[in-house]
Amino acid sequence: MNKLLFFILLLTTLSNAQEPILPIPKQSEIDHPKAKLGQELFMDTRFSSDNSTSCLSCHNVYEGGADSRDVSLGVGAQSGDIHSPTVLNARYNFRQFWNARAKDLVEQIDGPIHNPVEHNMDAKRVEKVLNESTSYQEKFQEIYGVQKILYSHFVDAIVAFENALYTPNAKFDKYLRGEVQLSEKEKEGYTLFKQNGCITCHNGINIGGNSLQKMGTFKEYKTPKIFPDRSFITKKESHKNVFKVPTLRNIALTAPYFHDASAKTLQEAVETMSHFNLGIRLSKEEVTSIVLFLNTLTGDTPSILESH
């Protein structure tokens, strides 16, 4: 096979390849009664030692699922040590937390509940709050068929709620399904997103959340403080500044950006990532087009939040 024919076949194969981004299903099976109970638990400040903090305090599910502050505040108004990521579509992440220390949503819940800065609780204290509440006793008895509520029931209900926090029908999902067209600038942004290598890390159903990558691949990324990166777990020097790739879904709603919340706008985030992780400098027009593409990734509000 001559080189020209090989090149033509390669281009044809690439052009016909499956899209590297998958749409979120329009419908996903959830346990509605458990999810509604989990929603109540998620928003209840009694599951913090000073009754000040709920899961919602750091993950506003009505406004992107993240925190608009650089770091969240927990019990006693103590500051966290890293920017709170979104919980929307967290069900699609391969692991949880920036440093991927939790294998799933069940393990993830233990983190903030037991953290002395966040909720400062333990299983026994959570169970005490639950079993002293007539309302919770009735609801858990109806759903779980138990007389005594256990911490494991508490976790299970919150996970059911978090599994219901998926956001289908983003404009880009509709485009992938052939239901709508993108504008020329949005298409150009998606093309640039792929051509410049953003797609290497931000792909799949969650457009991220499925790998660990170093922040600062081409140029060292320095911050004035230390953040709990992957090296905190593995103790490996090579894992410094390695974090779970964040999802780009609903990214227009979750400023500020990055683990250190250093980028305050999408434009700034795109410029920073292109410089440190792609080794290039994008033009103002290219950044604008990519941001227009990113704006097509905002999906519907999770239906669990709209139901009563």
Rounded average pLDDT per 10-residue block, the chain, 308 residues: 41 56 95 98 98 98 97 97 98 98 97 97 98 98 98 98 98 98 98 97 98 96 95 97 98 98 98 97 98 98 86
Tokens of 62: 């009505």
Write out the catalytic residue numbers. 118
- Quick check: 23 and 180 in contact, CB under 8 A? no
**pTM for this predicted structure:** 0.92
Owning domain of residue 287:
168-297
Where a domain ends, among 135, 163, 191? 163
Q: How far is the C-alpha of 35 from the C-alpha of 299, rounded, in Å?
A: 20
Answer yes or no: is 6 within a domain.
Answer: no
Dist CA 135 CA 156 (whole Å): 18
- 147 in a structural domain: yes
Residue 15's pLDDT is 41
Note whether residue 2 is domain-resident.
no
- CA distances for 268 relative to 30, 202, 256, angstroms: 37, 17, 10
What integer pLDDT is reported at residue 107 of this predicted model? Answer: 97
Q: How many distinct structural domains can be found in the chain?
A: 2
pLDDT for 308 equals 55
Residue 191 sits in a domain whose CATH number is: 1.10.760.10
Torsion of Cα atoms, 301 then 303 then 304 then 307, to 10° = 110
pLDDT of residue 307: 66
Helix count and strand count (H, E) for the chain: 13, 2
